Chains A and B, each alone.
Chain A
Amino acid sequence: MKKNNLRLTQIVYSAIIAVGVILMSLIISSVLLRSLRRTTESEISYFIAADAHQMELNVDNYLNNVQQVTALLFSDKDYYLYDATDESLSDYQKIQSETKILNRIVDLGMMNNYCDFGIVYANDKSAGWISQVTGQMFKDGGIYDYFSSLIPEDNLKQDAWSVNVLGNTNRIYYVKRLNPNAICLVSFYISELESVLDVPAELSEMNIKLIANDNYVVYSTNKHEESMQLDPYILGIIGDAAGITAVNDDYLITSNRVSNGWRVVCTMPTDTIMAEQVAATKTLVLLVSLITILVLLTIILVMTKLNYSVKGFVDDLDYQAKNDQMTGLLNKSAFRSVTESDLETYNGKQAIAFIMLDLDNFKSVNDVAGHKFGDEVIKRMGDLLREVYGVEGAFIGRIGGDEFAVYKSYNDISRQEAEKRIHDLTNSLYDLFDLHFKDEKEKYGLSVSTGVLVTGAGDYRFDDLYQKADVALYISKRNGKSKPTFI
């Protein structure tokens, strides 16, 4: 019963420790993963925001360059004050002026890849480079009025940027007023922005868009998005905001405003940027799982080892408490305990045998042959008793230095049959004793006296049986030893 309790306790404690380890692993993993995700998001957001800011600067730089080059037409009044609509000028004067302007534009035009770089006058005449495509767009006239109207009256700089001009979706126009009857018209292909908004190979999944004020996609690394309105989902997240980085489960989005009011919007699927984090998560989960399994295996191993150890230790202590170390027989206390326990238990017993044994002249053995040999004799005597009475399942004890006792209750045979069997066994004991201890008998006069009590069933106490058997033993001793006395 006590063993079962111990076992149960061990299982409960093992389970508690195992659950504790698993819970702790889960908590640690969860905390680490959360921390890792936040750190990764934060770090990647930082770098992508830095990259987006660089894109903003690149676009700003490109647009500013166009504006600055155009502004160089203001370096000489002959460039910006010339008015082709002035009727007072002769054709030759106009040729001279326009030739001078063209030379200036040729110089300025070297600064970049322009589609258009020219001056358009109120009569739709132009000087410089007005491309075939732009010319065809206004072949029925109206080029000056159209572009002139793009410039807000309250704009001090008197300039404007425009895209999707009359459905032309592949170039960006810049217009700047030179005088009341002249505007400078500059355009470049949107594809020129490929080198300005170049996606680093390391961020190949990143999508970069240049968005005009009305959320019209001027340029996108995904060509299918160009000339469309910004994806409503993206727009719903960033609204009109600029200088922000937004992250949700779908996208990491940055929005940066450039100098002309347009925005550079970078988007990147969150799955992509967190791919490394997912890989790290898998590694972490694997590692924590491995460690958890190892810890659990260790606990099981240690518990098993401890279990065996404790059980062995307890069994040892139990054995040592109950048995005589020299003979392995029950010691006096244990013998008394098990005998009393049997006597108290009603199990239908019909007969009880209680035998007291004492080695005669054992002192001579110790005195002459030494205690070590004496111990050997006691041990051999124990073996002999086990050989004779052990087959009956009797309790055998060493109750003194050279005194032994045997107890046996019978519930399957009658008292007479029990007497006969005990008598036969005891007689055989003497035969075997003579055989096993022949030398000791001759040299030291070693013999054995026994007092044998066989009774019917009754309310006997240990002391009663012990006393009666001891009297019988005494009788044997008094009557010359080396014999049994049956009562």
Chain B
Amino acid sequence: MRKHIKTLSSVIAILMLLSALASCSSDVSKVRISSQDQAVVITMSWWGNDPRHEYTLEGLSLFHEKNPDIAVDHSYGVWNGYERRYLMQMESHNNCDVMQVNYAWLSQYSPDGTGYYDINQLSDYIDLSQFKEEDLETGMRNGRLNALPIAYNTVCLFYNADMFASYGLEIPKTWDDLFDCARVMSKDNIYVLGMINKHLVLFINAWFEQSTGRKLFDIDGNYIGTKEDIAMILEFYKELTDSKVVMPLYSFEVSSFENLATAGTACWASDSIRYCQPAVDEGMNVVIGDYLRINEDDDSTWYIKPATMFAISSDCEYPEQCGRLVDFLLNDPDFAQLQGTEKGIPVSASARQALLENGQLAGIEYMAGEFINENRSDLLLINPMLENSSFQDLFKDISDKYIYDEVTLDEAATELHRALLGL
């Protein structure tokens, strides 16, 4: 009997042990720690219009698919006002990690080359071999590679060839041609050209430099003009508007060229989609005119610049991840196809090859890009001050007073000259 009790006790003990083991799995007194798989978050900012926003957002989704360990938080806006946002971000050190930057900003925010990350240090993550030395040189500041160019850009003059033909006019080659055309077209209340302020400043500056051989800013960005120079510029501007060569800024809209209110438009090659594609879509024969000169045989003074560039914040927390994003944005064939030629023909060889293979080197932007390539040797790298928004805003505010007869030429020239001296 004692043996039976022993056997029974053993079975009960086994059952209790099993129960204890089972209950161990729900022991809440033990701390259980599991890691959270979270991607590194970096930030990126850009400016542009709807197409750029859309393909960039799509591209960032694609980047995250290819790099699940990196999430990109983004900030974007239109150019008009973006520069102020950028200034605020840079001055408050709240700028994004990866930034689309304007060529002019390199000298403004990184005079000694330390304002942006030295991209040379990220050559393990960014394939710099896709860029020629002269391309890399555009982003160099004091021996440090501050930014990489996406494409090259210049102000192009787009004309509605059909309209000129209908008036029996040739596409203008000199400044005088513009006025000749205006005399004919203005009878129908048509302006020869329409443009926004930032293009107008460069447009008039070209005339000024060709006419005088002088410059408003030296190589370091210092204002070196005179009151007489400013008066000359303002007077020419008023002549352009009074002669209906250039549509008043207030009246000019993106659709003016498409709506036949102007026979042409001046804009960055990279803006050609925005300003010219609707006209092309309407069936107009849009052509690119030569750079205007005083005389046809003169050497022209027009400028080229990197269309936009990518830079990395000097104090970014994740340089490697930022490098991988920049490489994607510049060299990845898939992103290149999304981007197309919206910013111009890509500088990166791999991106350009991707567009070639995909049949995307076509259209108005490609035409503008080819125009830049053909005239590259005659084009100078732009003085960053000419793109300085303060300079451009001052010019608009004061020139408006003169154009609308609120002040005299002398008063306007004096005010703008003083303002530029204090810039």
Contact = CB atoms under 8 A, between A and B. Distances in A.
Contacts of A170: 54
B255 A309 contact: no
B18 A92 contact: no
A77 interface: no
Interface on chain B toward A: helix, strand, loop, or mixed SS? Answer: helix
Q: Which of B7, B75, B78, B254 has the most CB of A within 10 A?
A: B78
Given A110-B88, A115-B50, A301 B406 contact: no
A156 to B, nearest CB: 31
A114 B15 CA distance: 67
A302 to B, nearest CB: 6
B22 interface: yes
B81 A105 contact: yes
Interface string A109-147: 110011100000000000001011101100100000000
The winner among B7, B81, B274 for most chain A CB atoms within 10 A is B81
Interface stretch (A290-298, A403-411, A421-429): A290-298
Given A110-B77, A110-B85, A113-B74, A306 B49 contact: no
A191 B57 CA distance: 8
Contacts of B22: 287
Interface of A: 90-92, 94-96, 98-99, 102, 105-107, 109-110, 113-115, 129, 131-133, 135-136, 139, 170, 189, 191, 195, 201, 287, 290-291, 294-295, 298, 301-302, 305-306, 309
Nearest to A90: B404
Contact of A107 (B49, B54, B84, B400): B84
A109 B77 contact: yes
Contact of A129 (B78, B85, B278): B78
Nearest to B21: A287
A196 to B, nearest CB: 12
A132 B49 contact: yes
A110 B75 CA distance: 9
B32 to A, nearest CB: 14
24 contacts: A91-B248, A92-B406, A95-B249, A95-B400, A99-B397, A106-B81, A110-B84, A114-B77, A131-B49, A131-B50, A131-B78, A132-B49, A132-B51, A132-B274, A136-B278, A170-B54, A291-B15, A294-B15, A298-B15, A301-B7, A301-B11, A302-B8, A302-B11, A309-B1
B4 A189 contact: no
B397 to A, nearest CB: 7
A114 B53 CA distance: 10
A139 B281 CA distance: 13
**Most chain B beta carbons < 10 A, residue from A91, A95, A129:** A95
A91 B405 CA distance: 11
A222 B85 CA distance: 34
Interface string B349-362: 00000000000000
Interface in B1-34: 1, 4, 7-8, 11, 14-15, 18, 22
Contacts of A95: 249-250, 400, 404
A279 to B, nearest CB: 12
B76 interface: yes
B80 interface: yes
B37 interface: yes
Nearest to A308: B4
A98 B278 CA distance: 26
B80 to A, nearest CB: 7
Contacts of B278: 136, 139
Contacts of A290: 18
Interface in B177-209: none
Interface in B143-157: none
Contacts of B65: none
A102 B81 CA distance: 8
Nearest to A171: B50
B299 interface: no
Contacts of B404: 90-92, 95
Contacts of A201: 36-38
B411 interface: no
A131 B77 CA distance: 10
Contacts of A94: 250
Contact of B53 (A105, A109, A110, A115): A115
Contacts of A109: 77-78, 81, 85
A306 B51 CA distance: 88
Contacts of A99: 397
A95 B397 CA distance: 9
A189 B18 contact: no
A110 B81 contact: yes
A133 B48 CA distance: 13
Interface string B288-301: 00000000000000
A272 to B, nearest CB: 18
B73 interface: yes
A189 B57 contact: yes
A106 B80 contact: yes
Contacts of A113: 74-77
A294 B81 contact: no
A105 B82 CA distance: 11
B59 to A, nearest CB: 12
Contacts of B249: 95
A311 B18 CA distance: 33
A29 to B, nearest CB: 13
A315 B7 CA distance: 23
Given A92-B404, A298-B8, A305-B4, 5 more contacts: A92-B401, A113-B77, A132-B51, A298-B15, A302-B11
Nearest to B78: A129
